[in-house]
Amino acid sequence: MAGAARKKLVGRYEVGRTIGQGSFAKVKFAVDADTGAPVAMKVLDKATILNNRMLQQIKKEISIMKIVRHPNIIRLNEVLAGQTKIYIIMELITGGELFDKIARQGKLRENEARKYFQQLIDAINYCHSKGVYHRDLKPENLLLDSRGNLKVSDFGLSSLSKNGFLHTTCGTPNYVAPEVLSDGGYDGSAADIWSCGVILYVLMAGYLPFEENDLPTLYDKIGSLKEPSH
């Protein structure tokens, strides 16, 4: 029809509305014009990436997402590059964040928490088998699909390592393992499992085990935790 608005195309994808936005990227709803399948399109501005010295981080995130293929990990379909933008085409997840579910209803029923935790552990065990360590596991980075299945997302801080011994201090303070806060390096798999344990606590209790407004106090609390003797 002559009066109809032309749809914006990126490659073979028809680009629609913005469904998410972060500091350095927008996420658009898009449709594969060949198959009709809906996808999520993460749009990054090249100049912004270069100005913030994020190019290597973005390259690493993309290379890691190409490695991981698991039912409980968000799937990378392909990456396209234009003159000024990078387009990361991913599986579209429509059920929101696990964080939103907890914020809405508080602690979960045990059988529901068990299901999510099992799916999380399956995904992270798979990542570790590939030498991938997520390093920023938290409910905000766990998405739910239309069937209520968990999908691990956001590999922006992840690392690829043969022996799993890492040195960079990173992650979200409330979920970070004590050894990550030290200067001696840490086992990436153990640090991820610690974060999984904090997530399980949040699922079952509805609140964080470690919570302080002051970061040094929070880190002291995390670092002084003693394991029970029994």
Whether residue 83 sits in one domain with residue 13: yes
DSSP secondary structure code for residue 175 in this structure: G
Same domain, 71 and 133: no
Give the relative orientation of helices 110-129 and 188-205 as an angle to the nearest 10 degrees.
170
Task: Single out the residue in 91, 124, 150 at which a domain terminates.
Answer: 91
Q: What share of the chain is helix, strand, coil (3-state, %, to 5)?
A: 35, 25, 40
Q: Are strands 25-32 and 159-160 parallel, antiparallel or unpaired?
A: unpaired
String of b and e for 128-139 (b: at least 16 CB within 10 Å)? Answer: beebbbbbbbbb
Q: From CA 88, how far away is CA 26, in angstroms rounded?
A: 10
pLDDT digits (tens, 9 = 90+) for 63-80: 999 999 999 999 999 999
Count of domains in the chain? 2
Domain containing 207 — which CATH number? 1.10.510.10
28 with 56, same domain: the answer is: yes
Q: Is 0.85 surpassed by the pTM of this model?
A: yes
Domain boundary among 60, 91, 122: 91
Asked, for residue 114, whether it belongs to a domain, the answer is yes
Residues forming a β-bridge with 18: 28
Q: Are residues 171 and 115 in the same domain?
A: yes
Domain of residue 218 covers 98-223
Q: Is 70 inside any structural domain?
A: yes
Please count the other Cβ atoms lying within 10 Å of the Cβ belonging to residue 82: 11
Find the CATH number of the domain harbouring 76. 3.30.200.20
Name beta bridge partners: 38.
Answer: 31
Of the listed ranges 33-47, 119-133, 150-164, 187-201, the one predicted with least confidence? 150-164
- State pLDDT tens for residues 138-193: 999 999 999 999 999 999 899 998 888 898 888 888 899 988 888 788 999 999 99
Most distant CA atoms of the chain, gap in Å: 76
- 44 plus 139 within the same structural domain: no
For residues 46 and 73, state if they share a domain.
Answer: yes
Are both 109 and 208 inside the same structural domain? yes
Q: Give me 173's structure tokens.
A: 């303070």
Same structural domain, 70 and 16: yes
DSSP H or E segment with residue 102: helix 98-105
Q: Quick check: is 81 in a domain?
A: yes
Residue 26 marked ligand-binding: no
The answer to the question of residue 230 being in a domain is no
Catalogue the active-site residues.
Answer: 136
Among residues 61, 91, 121, which one ends one of the domains? 91
CA distances from 94 to 20, 35, 172, 212 (A): 12, 19, 24, 32
DSSP-derived 3-state class of residue 121? helix
Assigned domain for 228 exists: no
On the question of pLDDT at 2 being above 60, the answer is: no
